[in-house]
Amino acid sequence: KQEVTQIPAALSVPEGENLVLNCSFTDSAIYNLQWFRQDPGKGLTSLLLIQSSQREQTSGRLNASLDKSSGRSTLYIAASQPGDSATYLCAVTAGNTGKLIFGQGTTLQVKP
Amino acid sequence: EAQVTQNPRYLITVTGKKLTVTCSQNMNHEYMSWYRQDPGLGLRQIYYSMNVEVTDKGDVPEGYKVSRKEKRNFPLILESPSPNQTSLYFCASSDLLAGDPQQYFGPGTRLTVT
């Protein structure tokens, strides 16, 4: 059974710092991996999607990497800002049903 | 604007009173699904639909029903809600069948069953 784990559960950093969020999954047979952002009272916003054949994706200050063989992904946020404060969720798609299997998330606080 | 909408956003109800949470998307996506989010358990899939009139169970379907009569709508039905269905519910859609797996989520519906 696929399990997704995110470490740390919470993170507090000063503004401007570069940071890395970690995601691990137990079964390497995935179709893709997605990183989402969740703000209180709002839905999930897709940040980056990495297909199983890809190693990384970049969008602005965000870079996500995928190492399928070791079952790991990282989300790198450069020059963090207070507006980056949110919960970040990692999810894998395993199988052709489109079902996302989520980690518990990392709650990030960026202090001004 | 491309979006997934859910109604209501907040709902407090009593045990046993049937309710429906609506979900609608304007992106012409064939794939739609429902998730619930609970503290300590994360997000779990309830039901999904690959196309009109095609629905299937996710990981936690007990106590829920869905229907897919039109491509844009995918309502979630709780025929006899119980307190353990108190949760935050999300609807999602994607162009999965066209090869685009990115999923778009609605804003969520916070349901409390007393």
Kindly state the tokens that stand for B79.
């025929």
Chain A neighbors of B57, CB-CB under 8 A? none
Confidence of residue B97 (pLDDT cuts 50, 70, 90): confident
Interchain CB distance below 8 Å, B31 and A32? no
Residue B46 at interface with chain A, using a CB cutoff of 8 Å: no
In B49-88, the residues whose Cβ lies within 8 Å of chain A are 50, 56, 58-59
pLDDT over 90 (residue B91): yes
Chain B neighbors of A34, CB-CB under 8 A? 101-103
Residue pair A44/A90 in contact (Cβ under 8 Å)? The answer is no
Interchain CB distance below 8 Å, B35 and A34? no
| B24 SS3 class | strand
Mean pLDDT of chain B: 95
Residue B32: what residue type?
M
Structure confidence at residue B54 (pLDDT): 92
Instruction: Tell me the per-residue pLDDT of B43-73, one tens digit each, with 9 for 90 and over.
Output: 999 999 999 999 999 999 999 999 999 999 9
Instruction: Tell me the per-residue pLDDT of A24-70, one tens digit each, with 9 for 90 and over.
Output: 999 999 999 999 999 987 889 999 999 999 999 999 999 999 999 99
Residue A36 at interface with chain B, using a CB cutoff of 8 Å: yes
Residue A91 at interface with chain B, using a CB cutoff of 8 Å: yes
Residue range B17-45: average pLDDT? 96
Instruction: Tell me the per-residue pLDDT of A88-103, one tens digit each, with 9 for 90 and over.
Output: 999 999 777 889 999 9
Structure confidence at residue A84 (pLDDT): 97
Chain B neighbors of A49, CB-CB under 8 A? 101-102
Interchain CB distance below 8 Å, B103 and A105? no
Residue range A1-19: average pLDDT? 95
Nearest CB to B101; choose among A32, A42, A104:
A32
Structure confidence at residue A46 (pLDDT): 93
Give which of A17, A31, A18, A34 is closest to A103, Cα–Cα: A34
- Report how far apart, in Å, the C-alpha atoms of B108 and of each of A19, A44, B77 are: 28, 9, 15
Quick one: CA dihedral B51, B55, B59, B60, positive or negative? positive
- Distance of alpha carbon A14 from alpha carbon A108, whole angstroms: 11
DSSP B41: T
Pick the more confident residue, A104 or B98: A104
Structure confidence at residue B11 (pLDDT): 97
